[in-house]
Amino acid sequence: MANTDNTEAPLGANEALTPLREAGRVFRWHDHMALWFSLGVGLLVMQVGAFLVPAVGTRDAAVAIVLGSCIGAGLLAWTARIGCESGLASAGLMHATYGSAFARLPVILNIVQLIGWTTFEIVIMREGTQAIGKQAFGWSLDGSIGTVITTLVWGAVLLALLAGSMVKLVRRFVSRFGLPLVILSLVWLSWQFAARLHAKGLEAFWSRPGDGSMGMFGALDLVIAMPVSWLPLVADYARHGKRSRSGLGGAFGGTWLGYAVANVWCYALGVMVVSVAEPGTDMLAALLLAQGGLVALGLILVDELDNAYGDVYSGSVSSHSLFPQWSIRRWGLMLAAMCIALALVLPMHSLEPFLLLLSSVFVPLYGVILGRLGVSVSVNAIDARRVDIAAAAIWIGGIAIYHSCAAWVPQWGSALPTLAVTFVLAWVTRPSPAGGTSALAQTRG
């Protein structure tokens, strides 16, 4: 894909570290909105939402879902604006903030987590297919042969998508066909479970107390975790957007609206499902038992494919930044093949806590990036020899703060305190642009 999505990059150039010029920018606000609504929909989001009600109660869960989604999607949109204004991929933002010598570390960590999450998405799609096959046709696909077949089928579809153009996929499929189908499936499932809640009594549902195992800030942390997990990816897509004169439209407005609505909707649906399902029923089984749940779950599984695509495409952009001799397309196909193989041999559900632990390093990482680049949206020139010691130290200190909060004051959460501290420290220590004009301002001209 070296010359598919970035026709302005010189032959042999590092596309991830080269600002995308205006001729290569085609996404408008509705493209950003459709992409991030689609990426915000997922079974994992619903499953996490199901944890909230038993812990904090329905009313506090509703507050946490709406407030946490707005904050998390706002952080995502803020990062999208930086990527759109600078034209840099996520790896380029890391290089501009930390210096190219040090930035290789977070780039490599990002690649590792994206391989893990892509593999996890393949497993989720496989298990969903197995559940549908058993429910609808009586097929037993959870044996070794069925596992291999369903994994390879989804893997083949993922490889086929990666062989094409990301820009065309978003504009021609996600915006025009994928988004309406996903919305219809969510509307149908919401109607079904809302009817069950009404039959059980809405007052009892709304006044349900929590067991006190989680505080409000902990619930906010859980909701914010989903949009924050996309921070290392958002610039890889936002850089393809047209710049907005107001700064609030385009990538910023589309990303915020799309992801916030999807996050609120899926978390709320998870809350409704767990409130009406029989104790011990998992999310897949509960969705399948709903009237029309088979079709709706099938559409959500198809939409789950774009989450896997989003992870592996961003991983290929980051890999290309380290080894530009391989094109983004070549890296994407290689990483996808690796993830398919890993999905066949690794116990991904056992590794989910490790992936969540690894994701925690990106909260302070982007606290620093937002503090350095997010206020004036200025991007320093990339120097392969430079290491920003202050930025690196704040990031490493932020990781310690995150885990200290989780261990010592879990009632206050970890994400928001860490983001606040790293942002302020990064903003206070930000270097002045050389000559009073940022590289971004120069590229805008």
Q: What is the CA radius of gyration of the chain?
A: 21
Tell me which DSSP letter residue 336 carries. H
Does residue 5 lie in a domain region? no
Q: Is the pTM of this model over 0.95?
A: no
Q: What is the tens place of the pLDDT at every residue in 4-61?
A: 444 344 545 788 899 988 877 889 899 999 999 999 998 888 888 888 888 888 999 9
- What CATH number corresponds to the domain at position 62? 1.10.4160.10
Domain hosting 260: range is 25-350
- In whole angstroms, what separates CA 272 from the centre of its chain? 23
- Domain presence at residue 372: no
DSSP class of 401: H
Cβ atoms of residues 273 and 50 within 8 Å: yes
- Tokens linked to 49: 């939402």
57 forms beta bridges with 209
pLDDT < 50 stretches in the chain: 1-9, 11, 435-445
pLDDT at site 433: 58
CA distance 286 to 329: 38
Specify whether the CB–CB gap between 14 and 100 falls below 8 A. Answer: no
Model pLDDT, residue 411: 78
Please report where in the chains the tokens 């010359």 appear, as a residue.
3
Which pair of tokens denotes residue 354? 């490790």
If DSSP codes are grouped into helix, strand and coil, which group holds residue 138? coil
Q: 237, 306, 223: which is closest to 265 by C-alpha?
A: 223
- Residue 365 in any domain: the answer is no
User: Which residues lie closer than 8 Å to 355 by C-beta, 6 or more apart?
Assistant: 113, 116, 117, 120
Give the number of domains in the chain: 1
| Sequence-distant (≥ 6) Cβ neighbours of residue 141 within 8 angstroms | 129, 130, 133, 134, 147, 149, 150
197 in the Ramachandran plot: left (φ > 0), alpha (ψ -120 to 50) or beta?
alpha
The two structure tokens encoding residue 227: 């949009």
For CA atoms 182, 185, 191, 194, the dihedral sign is negative
Q: Is residue 329 part of a domain?
A: yes
Query: Taking the alpha carbons of 301, 303, 307, 313 in that order, is the dihedral positive or negative?
Result: positive
Three-class secondary structure of residue 200 per DSSP: helix
Residue 195 within a domain = yes
Considering the domain boundaries, does residue 366 fall inside one? no
pLDDT at 6: 43
Task: Judge whether 134 lies within some domain.
Answer: yes
Is residue 355 assigned to a domain? no
